[in-house]
Structure 1
Amino acid sequence: MNLRCLIIDDEQAALNVLTNYIAKTPFLELTGAYLDPIQALEIIYTQPVDLIFLDIHMPELSGLEFIKLLRGRAKVILTTAYSQYALEGYELDVVDYLLKPVPFDRFLRAVQKAKDALTTKEETSVLPVTVATVPTVTASDYVFIKVDSKIMKVRFDDILYIEGLGNYVSIYTKTGRLVTLSTMKEVEEYLSESYFTRIHRSYIIALNQVEYVEGNQIFLNKNTAVPLGETYREKFFKLLEENMMNKK
């Protein structure tokens, strides 16, 4: 299998070295090299990437912070001139840790480890799944989203509803509206069905924010109503019945 690779480093010389190494390796395919980690994050959210070569020391967003925002979307090989972050990197489940300047033979060993790990994951993914677990959401759960040039922390219990806008979503919270580059499908992956549900092709709501339902409108407060799509109607009312006192 070929691995789609992306390089993130705030030094052009480091990008050049790794670009050259990738070109020499038959099973690697370079999809992009970025000096700006935030720009790279936008790309990762919109197209598939298997392996990321990631510098640790970057001005806007450190490599370790970047890994937390990835949420397992790709395997990571850290590249840095500092050895003291190796332990923390492995705690974040990175494939390998390369010290600059990176020798080509050491680079090859690291990418082979990544290929082996991804091959094993691919083989495991075709096995039948017998038990599925749903992540629980607590008041301390949150997600980081990019809004303009900022990366913002949004707590799940602050979210009222989410509206899809093509390749963007609007997240309406108790304090305002945030727009970020994402799709409704991607957003659903982060949210527990116990707390959030899709009620329209363009809307996801927080169940605990529902005040009342009238016709095909769901009211989240006195001034906010969102449409209930016909496709999602049956599932939504089943969720309501679970907490309905007079079910007759």
Structure 2
Amino acid sequence: MIRCLAVDDEAYASEIIATYIRKTPFLELAGTTTNAFEALNLAQEGKVDLIFLDIQMPELTGIQFLKICGEKCRVILTTAYSEYALEGFDLNVVDYLLKPISYERFYKAVAKAQQLISPAKPSVQEPASAPTQVSDFIFVKGDAKNKFLKVDYKDILYIEGLKNYVSIYTSRQRIITYQTLKELEVLLPKPPFYRVHKSYILSIDKIKLIDGYMVFIEDHSIPIGETYRDEFLRVIKD
């Protein structure tokens, strides 16, 4: 197992990486932190094998971290800014991930890291389907910095995408969070969650009725997109 640490000054970003780590069979989550100096100490003490490091960190930038850390552990940079890529590779990083980071892109980076950290082990094949669920909830970003809402999977009826926002509908409330539908689709377990439209993901456990191209959940009606209809109906029949 590769011991991993997620380092980002925004806890929400670290939690996304942590979720990806938990879903990857050959990775182990050693922790998350918003403090680059704490991460540096863990690396120098040999307690982590791989660090996911944000470049824009207060007090100690990702580039400064790399120069101090040296070869103590492997590093994958995470950032919203592409201009740092060349300098990062000059400092021998494993890979460079641009935010927002999809699980597919994350997996390619860690597969590369696995070959560098454990070259004697056979390569792990990329999973053909969604990773196994390891928890029964998700944290989503709230309406203020460093505010996060815990949402239990069992409470979710469906999710509607609104450009860079999504609305998560439960029986009791509607939660609006700054996150894309594609990012949530990667994080949600199958079953029970399936995308049925370019703008909708729903829980098949909550379906009351399917009528033609419409799904009914409680008092809500959700359209089924033509692109998703055949696969969705196959899931329902199976």
TM-score computed with the length of structure 1 as normaliser:
0.55
Whether contact under 8 Å (1:76, 1:95) holds in the other structure is no
Query: Does 2:223 correspond to 1:233?
Result: no
Residue by residue over 1:183-233, the C-alpha shift from the partner in whole angstroms, topping out at 9 and shown as x without a partner, is 111111101222111111111100101111112210112x11111111111
Aligned to 2:84: none
Counterparts in 2 of 1:111 and 1:76: CA distance versus 1, 3 Å: farther
Give the counterpart of 2:14 among 26, 43, 67.
67
Whether contact under 8 Å (2:6, 2:52) holds in the other structure is no
Residue by residue over 1:93-151, the C-alpha shift from the partner in whole angstroms, topping out at 9 and shown as x without a partner, is 5469xxx999x99751426642444387474699893653533447x511111121131
Q: Provide the rounded CA distance (Å) in 1 between the counterparts of 2:215 and 2:201.
A: 11
Give the counterpart of 2:168 among 158, 168, 171.
171
Whether contact under 8 Å (2:94, 2:113) holds in the other structure is no
Q: Provide the rounded CA distance (Å) in 2 between the counterparts of 1:122 and 1:132.
A: 15
Whether contact under 8 Å (1:77, 1:110) holds in the other structure is no
Whether contact under 8 Å (1:77, 1:95) holds in the other structure is no
Give the counterpart of 1:110 among 57, 69, 72.
69
Larger Rg: 1
Whether contact under 8 Å (2:40, 2:69) holds in the other structure is no
Higher relative contact order (CA 8 A, sep 6+): 2
Whether contact under 8 Å (1:200, 1:227) holds in the other structure is yes
Give the counterpart of 2:155 among 124, 146, 158.
158
Query: Is there any run of 5+ residues in structure 1 with no aligned partner, and where?
Result: 1-50, 56-60, 243-248
Query: Does 2:196 correspond to 1:212?
Result: no
Query: Secondary structure of 2:189's partner?
Result: coil
Query: Secondary structure of 1:232's partner?
Result: helix
Q: Provide the rounded CA distance (Å) in 2 between the counterparts of 1:73 and 1:131.
A: 13
Query: Is there any run of 5+ residues in structure 2 with no aligned partner, and where?
Result: 22-31, 54-58, 76-91, 97-108, 116-122
Residue by residue over 1:15-54, the C-alpha shift from the partner in whole angstroms, topping out at 9 and shown as x without a partner, is xxxxxxxxxxxxxxxxxxxxxxxxxxxxxxxxxxxx9865
What is the CA distance between 1:72 and its match in structure 2? Answer: 6.6
The Cα RMSD (Å) is 4.5
Q: Provide the rounded CA distance (Å) in 1 between the counterparts of 2:151 and 2:163.
A: 21
Query: Secondary structure of 1:71's partner?
Result: helix
Counterparts in 2 of 1:161 and 1:167: CA distance versus 1, 3 Å: same
Query: Secondary structure of 2:36's partner?
Result: strand
Q: Provide the rounded CA distance (Å) in 2 between the counterparts of 1:232 and 1:106.
A: 45
Q: Provide the rounded CA distance (Å) in 2 between the counterparts of 1:230 and 1:78.
A: 47
1:11-160 aligned within 5 A: 54=8, 67-71=14-18, 78-80=35-37, 90=47, 94=51, 108-110=67-69, 113-114=74-75, 115-118=92-95, 121=110, 123=112, 129=125, 131-132=127-128, 134-137=130-133, 141-149=136-144, 150-160=147-157
Q: How many residues align?
A: 178
